[in-house]
Chains A and B, each alone.
Chain A
Amino acid sequence: MTTITTTIWQEVPEPANPYAAQVARCHGYDVYGEMLGHAGWADMVFLLLTGERPDTRQKAMLESLAVALANPGPRDPAVHAAMCGGVSGSPAAACLTAALAVGAGGAGGAREVHRAVSAWHASRGEVGALAAELARVVAEPAIETWPAAEVWPGFDAHSPVCPLPVLRTLDYLAPLSPGAALVTLQQGRQTLETGAGRGLAMTGVAAAAYVDLGMSPDQAEMLHLLLRLPGAAAHALEQAKLGFQKFPWGELELLDDPMRKSSRNDCLAEVES
């Protein structure tokens, strides 16, 4: 018989069906007997990930963070990936899988958040130490399949500009926050941006928010993937309706065209060499 060990979920079976729960408890709370109707979505997500229900400030911050992250818009590669699935009639799960896989990356995605949260924890929230740790992530890439970070995690891949939505999110969340990271980020932003040579990005704000919510890098990465899915879903559905003729195909410039080689023998010569 298969046994699963868990600290999260406890079930009491229906008397006539051992495979159906009559009572289900999440970290001790009766989900259908007490939480339903009294707990919100943020309560449930926070409880699942951390084992404790959020307090008022944690809940408010998580709800606002979820609004800020829900839709990075169709220019975002993760959303664009979901749209590719939607426009071509892929299953809904494939669209979200596309968004998850592309949005998992180290440039604007959940791996970047993981690295930034790791840096916050390693630096204990002091700006100078944080800057050193973020620089170290770039200078000493980990041995992993993830491509190495090219810029400080939490900062724009290219631009020195911190966009207004990022600033507004930071300014709104910081006073709500039960922790110190967002306020530290607010106060040290310009110092950090100078060090990074880039503007603060939404990943940087999100990372500080996860730190203030008491999350580990792994928890933050998982939650970040989750929170960015609604926009991907909506845009995938929209493109499915609009159809492929309204979806960009793109132009291509082929730099290595066998037609430009004088003959097939040129190709074969390359094969033999």
Chain B
Amino acid sequence: MIPTHPLDAYTGPIRTRMGAAIGGERAVFRGYDLHRDLRDIHWVELLFFGVTGKRYSPSEIRICNALLTFTSYPDPRIWNNRIAALGGTSRTTGNLAVAAAQAASEAVLFGGQSFYRALDFLFRARAHCDTGGDLHGFVADDLRRHRAIAGFGRPRINEDERVAPMLALLAEEGFDDGPFLRLARRIEEILLTGRWRYRMNYAGLAAAVCGDLGLTPEQYSLVSFPAFPCGMFPCYLEAREKPAGAVMPVTCVAMKYIGASPRHWA
């Protein structure tokens, strides 16, 4: 007799709490009729609701919307945007180009992985402090082990132009004194007074805000997915307006070769 396999229980219908398209009739999204109950929902709230299953106040949605808007830079030099622009210059489709650029946004130096690590760091720091640990020692130890702290410092410049306007908006909404944001500010003080001179960057600020909104690190990295594409489409489209290959063209001699000397295959 063939023993039962754990997957046998899943060979029937897909059992889901998330939703369904009931063709010709209606659509369900996490327990709501999409066209009836969620007809007027803000798209950003739908995004956050889809990820967390929680509903948000208009004030919170204004903050969430700004979190995504403030990172929408149509600058083709930025690595993920450049992929969209290179897609344009190579005359691929806009959606393929932006899909690839979006995939590359799950990066360590910026984007998805740094988002995740930034909030994970705040979670760990909070847990450490909650058990009576010293925050300064925790920060120094984490920095020593990982050589960097996600959410603080930036790869090219230390200042982050998004932080001040976001803090101003948070103050307007009375959302600038949550426990994670207070913790992030204390960490920034430590990093500024030490020899590291790291400022809180936008990922760190957004991580603190998302922590105060009740998101986990994974949820923070997921809701941040639309943080970049609004800047990518313009990069793609402008590249399309120029001759093919005109985005950052490189001549043969502009490649700085530092490898092996010429050698024979045969």
Contacts and interface: CB of A to CB of B under 8 A. Distances in A.
Contacts of B256: 3-6
Nearest to A21: B252
B259 A2 contact: no
B265 A35 contact: yes
A38 interface: yes
B195 interface: no
Output the residue of A1, A53, A143 with the most chain B CB within 10 A: A143
Contacts of A97: 96, 99-100, 103
Interface in A255-270: 255-259, 261, 264, 267-268, 270
B120 A10 contact: no
B194 interface: no
Interface in B91-123: 92-93, 96, 99-100, 103, 106, 112-113, 116-117, 120
Contacts of A180: none
A11 B113 CA distance: 35
B262 A25 contact: yes
Contacts of A252: 13-14, 16, 20
Contact of A13 (B30, B106, B249, B251): B251
**Interface SS, B side:** mixed
Contacts of B6: 158
B28 A258 contact: yes
Nearest to A251: B13
A250 B14 contact: yes
A253 B36 CA distance: 21
Contacts of A13: 251-253
B255 A10 contact: yes
The SS class assigned to the A binding surface is: mixed
Nearest to A159: B5
B116 A30 contact: no
Contacts of A159: 5
A267 B255 contact: no
B56 to A, nearest CB: 10
A108 to B, nearest CB: 12
B15 A255 contact: yes
B133 interface: no
Given A2-B248, A38-B266, A93-B92, A255 B254 contact: no
Contact of B5 (A9, A18, A25, A158): A158
Contact of B255 (A6, A94, A143): A6
Contacts of B144: none
A51 interface: yes
A8 B55 CA distance: 51
Contacts of A28: 259-263
A64 B23 CA distance: 47
A121 interface: no
Interface in A79-131: 91, 93-94, 97, 101
B245 A251 contact: no
Q: Which of B17, B106, B260 has the most CB of A within 10 A?
A: B260
A164 interface: no
A51 B260 contact: yes
B32 A267 contact: yes
B92 A256 contact: no
Given A6-B255, A93-B92, A258 B260 contact: no
B103 A101 contact: yes
Interface string A10-45: 111100001111000101111000110011000000
B28 A257 contact: yes
A254 B257 contact: no
A245 interface: no
Contact of B113 (A12, A25, A51, A144): A144
A25 B253 CA distance: 13
A2 B254 contact: yes
B245 to A, nearest CB: 7
Contact of A145 (B28, B113, B253, B254): B113
* Nearest 4 A/B pairs, CB to CB: A28-B260, A7-B259, A251-B13, A13-B252
Given A10-B255, A29-B265, A145-B106, 20 more contacts: A2-B248, A4-B254, A10-B257, A20-B252, A25-B262, A28-B259, A28-B261, A28-B262, A91-B93, A93-B96, A145-B221, A252-B14, A253-B13, A253-B15, A254-B16, A254-B20, A255-B17, A258-B28, A259-B33, A267-B33
11 contacts: A2-B250, A3-B250, A18-B251, A28-B263, A51-B260, A97-B96, A250-B13, A253-B15, A254-B19, A258-B32, A271-B55
